[in-house]
Structure 1
Amino acid sequence: MAQRLRVALAGYGMAGRGIHRPQLVAAGFEIAAISTSSPARVEQARSDEPAAQIVPDLDALLEVPDLDLVVLATPSGSHANHLTAAVAAGVPTVVDKPITVDAPSACKAVDAAAQAATPLTVFQNRRWDSPHLAARKLLDEGRLGDLVRYEFRWERWRPEPKQRWREQATAAEGGGLLLDLGTHLVDSAVDLFGPVRSVFATVEAHTTVAEDAAVLICRHAGGAVSELSTTSLAGAPGPRLRVTGTRGTFLVTEFESEPNGFPGFSAEPGCVGWLVRGDDRTPVPTVRAERTFYEQVAIALRSNDIQAALPVDPWDAVHTAEVIDAARASARSWQAVDISVCG
């Protein structure tokens, strides 16, 4: 059996403890070290991972010997500085989405990693969700016909904002739904249809410091149009995913713990959604990823070319940042904005 890969986890909040740690453990990684400055989280880390070294900050984390990987699950506003430190240390790095808070800093970070030959990838794990994989399969098989429109939503009902940095920080500091959930929406659309060439958007803040509602209409290089929506103020959320073609529509109404506004279209057991043609509906079987994000990272770390084998090209995350920057500019001008390409 291959020796377990040693990972250092920077940040032990909702993302670090609740998302990254379980997926890393499931993929066979050894949690060798954790950084957190919170006394309560130090106790959680000691309880969860008694063999791990607990340190107060990223600088101390990067001094832990024999690391195979560092995961940056820190607040988004700190990603640029933390990436600089991780790249300088030469440790292969996973950074949670968004890569940074804007395209210029994202471009600078990825370029620095390339210059230093430090492998870097971005945690865009939603590419391997079943609805996304099923949509790709239906499109590839031609069962939807020619694409008319792709709609992807991450809408929830949370009228009372949580008291945490995501809701209380400015966009420049990493707050708001565009950077939190919008990055997943953009990345999924780009993964299916290629780069975005222009975007029209509305971006609003009703209950939070940064935006709590955003809609992006993107035109991709190949001509496809994607409509992406995220809000915390949807008492009746729209369909999670609706991919409309000339021969039918792929419809998904359920997603994890989010409310389902269309219970009549709840998926059947073993299925992810429906292929709908008017009154006719056919259940669409669940499509499973062959490997999870972190299983792919583990394979890459044992390969001869780590960067090439990593699951997400960091330049994809730069493009996502470019689209989000353009969406903010569009919302200010009330006009479609062409995407400015880094470099």
Structure 2
Amino acid sequence: MAEPYKATVIGYGLSAKIFHIPFILALPSQFKLYGILQRNPTDTNSAASDHPDIKIWRDVPTMLADSAIDIVIISSIPDSHFEYAKASLEAGKHVIVEKPFVPTSQEADKLVEIAKKSGKKLAVYQNRRWDSDFVTLKQIIKEGKLGRIAEFETHFDRHRPKAPAVETWKQKELPANGAIYDLGTHLIDQVVHLFGLPKRVTAFLGYQASGNEDRTGNGDSFTVLLHYQNGMLVMAKAGVVSPEQEQLRYWVRGDKGSFKKYHLDAQEDQLRSGKKVEDEGYAVEPESHHGVLTQTSTDGKVTKEVYPTVTPPTYAEFYRLFGNAIVGNGEEPVKAEEASAVLKLIELAIRSSKTGKTLDI
């Protein structure tokens, strides 16, 4: 049996702790958590204390000098992604990059070329392709229950009407920041994964939370309209003024039926609360959160039913597929080229919002 791949994580924030390390540990036959790069540990946030049996580094060059490392997972802030991914690929490591991939599509395309020259695998962590609601929606569409889709709404709305008193890096006006790069990356990736690239983009980006009136960045909220050649209209939306008991996630309408779903996938909240991937009930959504499928028959009769949410393969599927890709058994779970295409759409959305125009792809 082959030895598991030695994986090292750059960064030790929420992304590393919640979205990467648990899934590395959940697949011991494929991966081993070999080390963590943490620049500035504190008494309350120390990788060395949490993981005393692995290697700890403070800088990237020293880490990359370790020839035992097979995979580098980059979970640092977005404007460091290009530099770290480039250095890791050129050092002969396979690379996984947290979303948003890099600040620009130009940088994304450069990394694609570097990965090809190095012969190493490069993938982007779009974990929400394995959300339970998205897996369910893919099943409904595949089964033809909605027919020809005319409108597709995908939401990530919250009610946070006041700007945070203390800014994190996500709120600061840095490259690849703002809601369009944070949540928009997920929503647009899912749409492109389902339907491919649209023909035109119309977008509105801005700040909804009070206290942000004078800001000029990418905004805390967005609405992006994606126009498809077949007439389908997609709306990807995230807002911070949405006082609802239940937040809408999907509303998809076709000529044979519609699907409406509230609530987010359960995995993030479960991971934050300490639930482990192997625990009973992980990734299982309560019945009260299931979506509603409405269908019409040829005689005009309308029926409505609760459609049970599929239990997904979980975010571990990304890592399982990446491990398989390394040995030539399939492709990377989210190819860098796909992430570059999403970045190009985001760049067009920003231009559309600034110019007040619908832009062609």
Range into which the TM-score falls when normalised by the shorter chain:
0.7 to 0.9
Distance verdict in 2 for CA 1:111–1:197, change over 3 Å: farther
Q: Distance in 2 between matches of 1:110 and 1:251?
A: 37
Deviation at residue 83 of structure 1 after TM alignment: 1.6
Percent identity between the two aligned chains: 27
Deviation at residue 249 of structure 1 after TM alignment: 1.3
Residues 199-250 of structure 1 show CA distances to partners (whole Å, capped at 9, x for unaligned) of: 1000113436541010000023554321100123323375111111112211
Deviation at residue 69 of structure 1 after TM alignment: 0.9
Residues 230-275 of structure 1 show CA distances to partners (whole Å, capped at 9, x for unaligned) of: 123323375111111112211110115799xxxxxxx862973110
Preserved contact between residue 194 and residue 221 of structure 1 (Cα < 8 Å): no
Deviation at residue 21 of structure 1 after TM alignment: 1.1
- The count of corresponding residues between Structure 1 and Structure 2 is 327
Distance verdict in 2 for CA 1:270–1:114, change over 3 Å: farther
Q: For 1:278-293, list aligned pairs within 5 A.
A: 280-290=303-313, 292-293=317-318
The correspondence for 1:300, drawn from 306, 325, 329, is 325
Aligned position for 2:235: 227
Preserved contact between residue 167 and residue 175 of structure 1 (Cα < 8 Å): yes
Counterpart of 1:163 in structure 2: which amino acid? E
Deviation at residue 310 of structure 1 after TM alignment: 1.4
Aligned position for 1:179: 181
Aligned position for 1:216: 224
Q: For 1:270-281, list aligned pairs within 5 A.
A: 272-277=290-295, 280-281=303-304
Q: Distance in 2 between matches of 1:256 and 1:191?
A: 18
Counterpart of 1:333 in structure 2: which amino acid? T
Aligned position for 2:262: 253
Q: Give unpaired runs (5+ residues) of structure 1.
A: 260-266
Deviation at residue 41 of structure 1 after TM alignment: 7.5
Preserved contact between residue 158 and residue 247 of structure 2 (Cα < 8 Å): no
Q: Distance in 1 between matches of 2:288 and 2:241?
A: 31
Preserved contact between residue 135 and residue 310 of structure 2 (Cα < 8 Å): yes
Aligned position for 1:31: 33
Aligned position for 1:84: 86
Deviation at residue 321 of structure 1 after TM alignment: 0.3
Q: Give unpaired runs (5+ residues) of structure 2.
A: 270-284, 297-301
Q: For 1:118-137, list aligned pairs within 5 A.
A: 118-137=120-139
Preserved contact between residue 96 and residue 124 of structure 1 (Cα < 8 Å): yes
Aligned position for 2:144: 142
Preserved contact between residue 271 and residue 284 of structure 1 (Cα < 8 Å): no
Counterpart of 1:127 in structure 2: which amino acid? R
| SS state at 1:309 partner | coil
| SS state at 2:83 partner | helix
RMSD: 2.5
TM-score scaled by length of structure 2: 0.83
Aligned position for 2:156: 154
Distance verdict in 2 for CA 1:3–1:255, change over 3 Å: same
Q: Distance in 2 between matches of 1:113 and 1:222?
A: 35
Aligned position for 1:262: none
Deviation at residue 3 of structure 1 after TM alignment: 2.5
Q: Distance in 2 between matches of 1:91 and 1:232?
A: 39
Distance verdict in 2 for CA 1:333–1:169, change over 3 Å: closer
**Residue 242 (1) aligns with residue 251 (2):** yes
Deviation at residue 277 of structure 1 after TM alignment: 4.9
Preserved contact between residue 113 and residue 119 of structure 1 (Cα < 8 Å): yes
Preserved contact between residue 127 and residue 318 of structure 2 (Cα < 8 Å): yes
Preserved contact between residue 100 and residue 106 of structure 1 (Cα < 8 Å): yes
Counterpart of 2:23 in structure 1: which amino acid? Q
Residues 58-112 of structure 1 show CA distances to partners (whole Å, capped at 9, x for unaligned) of: 2222222312211000101111111211121120000011111121121122122
| SS state at 2:287 partner | coil
| SS state at 1:168 partner | coil
Preserved contact between residue 78 and residue 103 of structure 2 (Cα < 8 Å): yes
| SS state at 1:165 partner | coil
